[in-house]
Structures are given as C-alpha cells and as structure tokens.
Chain A
C-alpha cells in the first residue's frame, strides 16, 4: 500500500522555466511533509518542508504547496537551473501509536534542459 505517490517518474523542463513536481498521499493523518533531493551516488539531501497547519512554504527558488482537501503536495522550482537536475522524493510523517516514521514516495527524476 503506497501511501505516498509520485506518479511522474520523470520530468524535463527548460532552464529558466518553472518545474512543478507533484506528490499525492492517502493517509489524512500525515502532519508533516518534506522534499528531498538526490544526486547520483549520493544520499538524499533535505530541501524544504511544510507542516499540515500551513498551505505554503517558500525558501528561495523553492516553494512547497499543500492542499489537504486534495491530499496533494507540490514543489515549485523557479527559475529552474541545470544544477536542479536530480531525483526528488516527497516524504510524509505521521505519529501512529507512537511508532512514527517517514514514508517516502518513489521519486521523480527532474532533468533541466539548458
């Protein structure tokens, strides 16, 4: 049961344009969401997060939007740069009977075209 889904395995965007990565979740108890970025041969690195009490969080070129009614999360990167080419994972957190864990999506490979 994949509770966090990234339905687009890959995305190509022209340099300078906006990249939009999407993530859907099924568990309404998730209360914290994160995006991680992963380059080849490296571990994932934290990018940005959002609490379920907010609907938007911005950090420089990166903005995360949360639509709780739709159970949908998106990451906007603007303007996109070649260094943004990487695999992006969304993740969600919930406290369930004290056994809290982070559930990751399968990732979206973003390619920025110069």
Chain B
C-alpha cells in the first residue's frame, strides 16, 4: 500500500460526458502528479501540482483540467470525453516538488468511454 488513494477504481461513461477523478496523496506529501496510461503505452505525464499550485505541465489536453485543494487532495476533470480517452489514470505523490523525487503511485482509475 503506497498510501496514495484514488477514487473511483473503475468508471464507465459515454462519449461527450464529463468525469472527475479524485486523488489523496500520502500524508506529508505536497506534490501530486497525474499520469495517463493507454493500451501498450508508457505512462504519459499530464500535470503536477505542488502545495496547491500548478508546477509542471505535460501532454494534457485542453479538455482536461486539474486542481489541488488546500487539504492537498487533487481532482482531475475530463470533459467532452472521446473513445480515445479510455485509459488508466494514475495519481502519484511526492514530498518535494522535483519531478525526479521518488513518486508513490495510487492504484489507478480505469476509465472506459463507450
């Protein structure tokens, strides 16, 4: 158990819909990272928040947005969903702000867009 929790575990929705994925970091960790893993793909970095502020941005689509709240939990919002958005979405947390810091991953949310 990494100490990072993600909800829901599975999500099935239709194209054009909007969903919100939730992540609670390990106690004491200030950074939260979001990753997307599509079939046969590596982990694609989406976005990082550190202590409530956006710290780094990766290949995140404009239809996607994220935020980190004062209690340090984070939400990833995916809107106007397309079939190609079906993937595993991982959240990770680390103590510091550096991308190379050891990141602890949650179990992931599997999103299926029908």
The count of chain A contact residues (Cβ–Cβ below 8 Å) is 27
A38–B102 CA distance with the chains assembled, in angstroms? 15
A80 on the interface (CB 8 Å rule)?
no
Partner of B99 from A9, A46, A100 at Cβ < 8 Å: A100
Distance from A80 Cβ to chain B, minimum over Cβ atoms (Å): 23
Residues of chain A from 1 to 47 with CB closer than 8 A to chain B in the complex: 4, 6, 9, 31-32, 34, 36, 41-46
A-B pairs with beta carbons under 8 A, tally: 67
Determine whether B18 belongs to the interface, using a CB cutoff of 8 Å to chain A. Answer: no
Which residues of chain B have C-beta atoms less than 8 A from A106's C-beta? Answer: 40-42
Chain B nearest CB from A25 CB (Å) reads 13
Q: Is the pair B90, A44 in contact by a Cβ cutoff of 8 Å?
A: yes
The distance in angstroms between the C-alpha atoms of A11 and B108, with both chains bound, is 25
User: A residues touching B (Cβ–Cβ < 8 Å)?
Assistant: 4, 6, 9, 31-32, 34, 36, 41-46, 49, 89, 91, 93, 95, 99-107
